[in-house]
A and B are shown apart, each in its own frame.
Chain A
C-alpha cells in the first residue's frame, strides 16, 4: 500500500494525483493524505507541491468533469476533514476510469468516495454561501473595508472571488481568524492571500472611519424596525442565522 503525503491545498492534492498517475499506481490500493498521521504498513511518499503539475491536473479535471464539478472537488478540499484528499482522489480516479461526461461526476453516489466528496463539497458550499450572506465589513479610515470571520472550511479564496467581483473599486480585506489568513483586495487591483502579521498590525492601527458607527447604528435600527412584532419568531431567526455567524454581524453583536 502506497501513501502519498502532500500539502493541505488544492494544488498539493493535485500534485499528488499527478504523481499517482505518473507512478501507475493501483488507485484502489493507494492513499493520498494531507495529515501527518501514520498508517500501519504504508509505504510513505512525501510529495512537494509543484504548481506546474498541479495546473495540468486542474486543467484536465475542469475539461473532463466540467466547471461545476471541478469547483465541487475544490470545495471538498477546503473542509477540515483529513479523509478529504483520499475521497477526492478516488472520485477523480473513478470518474476518469468510467469516462463520465462533464457535469455527472457526482451523480454516482453508489460509490462511497463519490458520496463522501459530494457531502464534503456540500458542506463547504454551504459555509461559503453563509459567508456571502453574513460577512460584515466595517469601514476603517481612508475607506478601507475590513471583515473577519472564523469559518470551519478554508473557503476564503472563494469568498474573495465573490467580493472582488462585487466591490471592484474598493480597498478591502477579509480575515480568517482561525487560520490566520487574510485576503487583500486593493481597489482596482488583483486580490491575494497573505499571512503577514505586519499587515494585520498595520490594519489594526487604522481606526474606524468617522461615519462607521453612524452607519452601523442606522442598520441596527433598520433591522429592528423591519420586524413585524405580530409575527415574532426568534427560534426561526436563530435557525436561519446560526449563532456562530451572528457574533460577527453588527446587528447581533454587542456594540463595540
Chain B
C-alpha cells in the first residue's frame, strides 16, 4: 500500500516538474493536451483574461480560405499556442472533415467568423466569471429539462467522463428540482423580444456572454468534483441564429476535442440556423432540443413576435431525420460517429397563453408520433415581466396543471392511452382531484371490474394502482398459479386504489359499489393523500406510478420530475 502511495507521489512530482514526460508516457502527447493541463494548473486567474489574448482577435477578418476557416473554427479561443499543435489535437477526422466540407460551401464561413464582437470581448475583460455564471444561470433556470438520461457510454480510459443510461442527479435546488447538468445560457444578450422572457431585448437586465473556453472550464472542473453529469447549453439569440449556433458549436467542439470531455451534453438547436451547423453540433451532443415555446402557432405569434412555428419545426424534423439516418449508419458501421444518441426533446410553456389541457396534450401526442421525440417537457409559466399580453396568475405558476400534464404524458408514452381518451372538446381540462388514469377509470365504469386472472395486459394497464411492471408480473405469474389478493400485493399492486376496479377469482376484495361518486369519494379521501401545495410534495403523489417497488423504472431524472410535477 505504501508502495502505491509512493507511486502516486512520484506521479505528481513528475507531473509538476515536467508535464511533458508524463503526457508522453501516457501516449497523449500533443500540444493541446499539454496546454490544457497547464491551463488547468494555472487556475482561475486565466479565465478572466481578455479575449484578445486568447486568440479571438486573430480570427476576425483574417480568414482567407476554408481550410483556415476550419482550423479557426476548431481552435478558437486557445491561449496562444501554435496552430500546428492545435491541428494535431483535433483527432476526430470525421468531424474535422465534415467541418471542412461544410465551411467550404456554406455561407456561414469566412465573413461570419468574428462571432464575438468587441462588446463581448470587453465583457470578458471586465466581468468576473462568478458574475457571468450568476447572470447566465439565472437566465437558464426556466428551462425545465435537466435529465442526463438516455445514453450509456463507458469511459474510454483516456478522456474525462462516461454516461449512465438512467442519468444521475447530483443535487437538488431549493425548489426541489434536480441539478444534473450545468444548465446555463451561452449568452443573454438577446436580440429577440419574447414577451414572457426575462432576457428579452426590451428588458433592462444585466447582460453577459461566456466565451467557449469559460464554458468548457466550468464544465470540466464541476464534473471532476462530481457536481454535475455534464453540460446543458442553451442561449439567447446573439445577433442572429447563425452566430448563436456557431458559438454553441465552437464550444462543444472545444469541449469534446480539446478538453476531451466524454460526459453528457445537451444543447439547443437554434431555429433559423443553417442545417449544416445543426448537423455538426448533433455529432457532438448527446441530446438536442428545439423549444416549441408555446403550444400553438397563435400563441407564438402573440407572445414571441420573432419566432415562427415553421422555423421551430424545421430543425426538429432535421434532427429526427438525422437520428434515423444515423441509426442506419450505426448498424452498417459500428464505429460511425453517433448523432444525438440520447434523442430529441422539447418544452412548452403552460399557462402563458389560453390553450386547454386537451389542446396541449394533442400537441404533445403529435410531437411523439410525428417527430419521434424522446420527451416533451411542460413548464408552468412563471411571470417575470409586466406585460398586458401576459395573464395575471394570482395563484403563482400553474404547478398543479403542469403535474397533471406530466401524468397524462406518461399515460401516452407507457400506458397505451390516446389524448382523446383522456380529454375531449367538452371536457378540455384535467380533474384537479383525480389523476388522469383514475379519472378515465371512473368515467368508464362499464369496463370494470376486470378479472386479474384473465384480463388482457392492455386492460390491466388501465386499472388505477397497476403499473407497467406489476401488469407484466401479473401476466407472468398467472401462468403458473391462480392469483389471490395477497399475491397482487406482493407483486406491487396498490390495492387501496385498485380494489374498486378488479376481481380476483371472481370476487372483489371488499364489498364495494361500482358507482362513480362512491369511488371518487374514496379515492380522494384525505388521509390517503398528500395535498398538493407549494411545499411538501412527495412520492405519494405519484399516484399513477406508485404501485410499489415493481413499477416501471423511470430514470432518476424522471423520478424527481414526477415528484416536482415536472417529470
Contact digits for A183-195, partner B, Cβ 8 Å, 1 yes 0 no: 0101111001010
Task: Please name all residues of chain A whose beta carbon is closer than 8 Å to the beta carbon of B496 when the two chains form the complex.
Answer: none
Q: Is B332 part of the contact surface with A, judged by Cβ < 8 Å?
A: no
CB-based contact A199/B162 at 8 Å = no
Give bound CA distance, A170 to B140, whole Å.
31
Q: Which of B141, B158, B537 is within 8 Å of A225, CB to CB?
A: B141
Task: Please name all residues of chain A whose beta carbon is closer than 8 Å to the beta carbon of B16 when the two chains form the complex.
Answer: 142
Q: With both chains docked as a complex, state the minimum distance between the C-beta of B247 and any C-beta of chain A, in angstroms.
A: 20
Q: Is A249 part of the contact surface with B, judged by Cβ < 8 Å?
A: yes
Q: Is A227 part of the contact surface with B, judged by Cβ < 8 Å?
A: yes
| Closest A residue, CB atoms, query B564 | A236
CB-based contact B8/A186 at 8 Å = yes
Task: Please name all residues of chain A whose beta carbon is closer than 8 Å to the beta carbon of B380 when the two chains form the complex.
Answer: 231
Give bound CA distance, A11 to B242, whole Å.
59
Q: Is A251 part of the contact surface with B, judged by Cβ < 8 Å?
A: yes
Q: Is A221 part of the contact surface with B, judged by Cβ < 8 Å?
A: yes
Task: Please name all residues of chain B whose beta carbon is closer than 8 Å to the beta carbon of A137 when the two chains form the complex.
Answer: 224-226
Q: Which of B41, B490, B535 is within 8 Å of A234, CB to CB?
A: B535
Task: Please name all residues of chain A whose beta carbon is closer than 8 Å to the beta carbon of B534 when the two chains form the complex.
Answer: 231-233
Q: Which of A134, A142, A225, A233 is within 8 Å of B138, CB to CB?
A: A225
Task: Please name all residues of chain B whose beta carbon is closer than 8 Å to the beta carbon of A22 when the two chains form the complex.
Answer: none
Q: With both chains docked as a complex, state the minimum distance between the C-beta of A6 and any C-beta of chain B, in angstroms.
A: 24
Which size bracket describes the interface of A in this complex? Answer: 35 or more
Q: Given contacts A169-B26, A184-B8, A225-B137, are A236 and B176 in contact (CB under 8 A)?
A: yes
Task: Please name all residues of chain A whose beta carbon is closer than 8 Å to the beta carbon of B560 when the two chains form the complex.
Answer: 240
Q: With both chains docked as a complex, state the minimum distance between the C-beta of A107 and any C-beta of chain B, in angstroms.
A: 8
Stretch touching chain B among A62-70, A71-79, A83-91, A160-168: A160-168
Contact digits for B170-192, partner A, Cβ 8 Å, 1 yes 0 no: 11111111110011000000000
| Closest B residue, CB atoms, query A202 | B5
* B1, B41, B176, B382: most-surrounded residue (chain A CB, <10 A): B176
CB-based contact A199/B130 at 8 Å = no
CB-based contact B130/A144 at 8 Å = no
Q: With both chains docked as a complex, state the minimum distance between the C-beta of B225 and any C-beta of chain A, in angstroms.
A: 5
Q: Is B563 part of the contact surface with A, judged by Cβ < 8 Å?
A: yes
Task: Please name all residues of chain B whose beta carbon is closer than 8 Å to the beta carbon of A133 when the two chains form the complex.
Answer: 168-171, 556
Task: Please name all residues of chain A whose beta carbon is closer than 8 Å to the beta carbon of B130 when the two chains form the complex.
Answer: 217-218, 221
Contact digits for B259-284, partner A, Cβ 8 Å, 1 yes 0 no: 00001000000000000000000000
CB-based contact B11/A228 at 8 Å = no
Which chain B residues (544-567) contact chain A, with CB distance < 8 Å? 549, 556, 560, 563-564
| Closest B residue, CB atoms, query A129 | B556
| Closest B residue, CB atoms, query A109 | B490
CB-based contact B222/A233 at 8 Å = no
| Closest B residue, CB atoms, query A115 | B490
CB-based contact B396/A230 at 8 Å = yes
Which chain A residues (225-247) contact chain B, with CB distance < 8 Å? 225-237, 239-241
Give bound CA distance, A251 to B226, whole Å.
12
Q: Is B227 part of the contact surface with A, judged by Cβ < 8 Å?
A: yes
Give bound CA distance, A218 to B223, whole Å.
13
Give bound CA distance, A125 to B156, whole Å.
25
Q: Is A27 part of the contact surface with B, judged by Cβ < 8 Å?
A: no
Which chain A residues (150-198) contact chain B, with CB distance < 8 Å? 163-171, 184, 186-189, 192, 194, 196, 198
Q: With both chains docked as a complex, state the minimum distance between the C-beta of B64 and any C-beta of chain A, in angstroms.
A: 38
CB-based contact B133/A147 at 8 Å = no
Give bound CA distance, A219 to B129, whole Å.
12
Stretch touching chain B among A43-51, A94-102, A207-215: A207-215
CB-based contact B226/A136 at 8 Å = yes
Q: Which of A165, A169, A225 is within 8 Å of B154, CB to CB?
A: A165
CB-based contact A221/B134 at 8 Å = yes
CB-based contact A227/B226 at 8 Å = no
Q: Is A143 part of the contact surface with B, judged by Cβ < 8 Å?
A: yes
* A110, A167, A226: most-surrounded residue (chain B CB, <10 A): A226
Q: Is B509 part of the contact surface with A, judged by Cβ < 8 Å?
A: no
CB-based contact A227/B133 at 8 Å = no
Q: With both chains docked as a complex, state the minimum distance between the C-beta of A13 and any C-beta of chain B, in angstroms.
A: 24
* B179, B222, B227: most-surrounded residue (chain A CB, <10 A): B227
Q: Which of B225, B397, B536 is within 8 Å of A231, CB to CB?
A: B397
CB-based contact A134/B171 at 8 Å = yes
| Closest A residue, CB atoms, query B178 | A240
Q: Is A145 part of the contact surface with B, judged by Cβ < 8 Å?
A: yes
Task: Please name all residues of chain B whose beta carbon is closer than 8 Å to the beta carbon of A225 when the two chains form the complex.
Answer: 133-134, 137-138, 141
Task: Please name all residues of chain B whose beta carbon is closer than 8 Å to the beta carbon of A187 when the two chains form the complex.
Answer: 11
Give bound CA distance, A189 to B26, whole Å.
11
Q: Given contacts A143-B12, A184-B8, are A234 and B174 in contact (CB under 8 A)?
A: yes
CB-based contact B134/A227 at 8 Å = no
Q: Given contacts A215-B225, A219-B222, A226-B137, are A231 and B176 in contact (CB under 8 A)?
A: yes
Q: Given contacts A133-B169, A171-B11, A186-B8, are A232 and B225 in contact (CB under 8 A)?
A: no
Task: Please name all residues of chain B whose beta carbon is closer than 8 Å to the beta carbon of A168 when the two chains form the complex.
Answer: 155-160
Give bound CA distance, A52 to B543, whole Å.
50
Q: Given contacts A192-B4, A230-B382, A240-B176, are A167 and B160 in contact (CB under 8 A)?
A: yes
CB-based contact B218/A218 at 8 Å = yes
Which chain A residues (105-143) contact chain B, with CB distance < 8 Å? 109-110, 122, 129, 132-139, 142-143
* Residues of B near any A CB (own CB < 8 A): 1-2, 4-5, 7-9, 11-12, 15-16, 26, 40-41, 43-44, 129-130, 133-134, 137-138, 140-142, 154-162, 164, 168-179, 182-183, 218, 221-222, 224-227, 263, 380, 382, 396-397, 399, 490, 534-539, 549, 556, 560, 563-564
A to B CB contacts below 8 Å, 28 in the list? A122-B549, A132-B168, A133-B169, A137-B226, A138-B225, A143-B41, A144-B12, A168-B156, A168-B158, A169-B159, A171-B12, A199-B1, A214-B43, A215-B222, A218-B133, A221-B133, A225-B133, A227-B141, A230-B397, A231-B175, A231-B176, A231-B397, A233-B564, A234-B176, A235-B176, A235-B536, A236-B537, A240-B560
Given A143-B12, A196-B1, A199-B1, 17 additional A-B pairs, CB 8 A: A139-B224, A165-B155, A166-B160, A167-B155, A168-B156, A168-B157, A214-B44, A218-B129, A219-B225, A221-B137, A226-B179, A232-B535, A233-B536, A236-B176, A236-B535, A236-B537, A240-B169
Q: Which 6 residue pairs are nearest across A and B when measured between Cβ atoms? A: A236-B176, A211-B43, A227-B173, A233-B176, A231-B175, A225-B137
